[in-house]
């Protein structure tokens, strides 16, 4: 049981380039999330999805787009990468079963992205 | 903006000692969760305490919640070198069914 898998694990981009980060979960979870983690800042929510075909903005959505075409996958896109987007990106998922507010989030191991 | 703030930012103790880290938050919450992050890995959920609970235990973990002071503490008893990690509190705000807000974390080092 892989849980939450993120690809790639590392990537270096030049300013202005685009790329897509992939998150896949095999737990049949309804909810999926994208966070970024910067030194001393904790995790900040970028976008999230409550189900296939639906997405919503989080705390820091600017410069990112997302898509949830399949229940198990959640894609994060950078259309024109900027140095300020250098960060570690984490994907998480959680179930929407009864009492969703009490459900923990399950995290992948992150994608380390550097924008030069 | 950060909802939770951990204190201290870093903590170093000897194996076998207890470790206490604190979390303060700003708004009314539904529940508060603690996560652990080992170096280079994702976060792992440790324990959740609801807003109407005051204390909760799970193995060597003890979490307290004081909603009047908007604060929580995580106690790890009889620490082990394997407990070395960053610890984050995360709050689920009242009225928000889905969005967790994470603090900046406490880096715990347990020396053998």
Mutate to test the interface with B, among A4, A99, A104 (most CBs of B within 10 A): A104
Contact A113, A85 (CB under 8 A): yes
Calculate how close chain A gets to B43, using CA atoms only, in Å.
Answer: 6
Q: Which of B44, B92, B102 lies closest to A42 in CB terms? A: B102
Residues of B in contact with A44 (CB under 8 A): 102
Which stretches of chain A drop beneath a pLDDT of 70?
A: 1, 96-102
Q: Is B38's pLDDT higher than 80?
A: yes
Whether the CB of A109 is below 8 Å from some CB of chain B: the reply is: yes
Q: What is the pLDDT of residues B39-93, one digit of tens each?
A: 999 999 999 999 899 999 999 999 999 999 999 999 999 999 999 999 999 988 6
Phi–psi pair at A102, nearest 5 degrees: -95, 0
Cα A7 to Cα B18: distance, rounded to the nearest angstrom: 37
């Amino acid at each position: 049981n892989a849980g939450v898998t993120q690809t790639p694990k590392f990537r270096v981009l030049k300013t202005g380039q685009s790329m897509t980060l992939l998150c896949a979960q095999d737990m049949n979870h309804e909810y999926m999330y994208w966070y970024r983690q910067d030194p001393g800042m904790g995790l900040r929510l970028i976008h999230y999805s409550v189900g296939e075909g639906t997405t919503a903005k989080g705390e820091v959505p600017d410069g990112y787009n997302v898509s949830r075409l399949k229940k198990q996958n959640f894609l994060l896109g950078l259309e024109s990468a900027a140095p300020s987007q250098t960060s570690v990106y984490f994907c998480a998922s959680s179930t929407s079963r009864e009492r969703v507010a009490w459900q923990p989030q399950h995290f992948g191991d992150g994608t380390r992205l550097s924008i030069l | 903006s950060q909802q939770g703030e951990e204190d201290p930012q870093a903590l170093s103790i000897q194996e076998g000692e207890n470790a206490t880290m604190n979390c303060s938050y700003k708004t009314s919450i539904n529940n508060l969760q603690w996560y652990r992050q080992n170096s280079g890995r994702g976060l792992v959920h440790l324990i959740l305490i609801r807003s109407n609970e005051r204390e909760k235990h799970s193995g060597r973990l003890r979490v307290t919640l004081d909603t009047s002071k908007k604060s929580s503490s995580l106690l790890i008893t009889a620490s082990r070198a394997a407990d070395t990690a960053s610890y984050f509190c995360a709050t689920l705000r009242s009225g928000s069914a889905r969005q967790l807000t994470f603090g900046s974390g406490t880096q715990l080092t347990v020396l053998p």
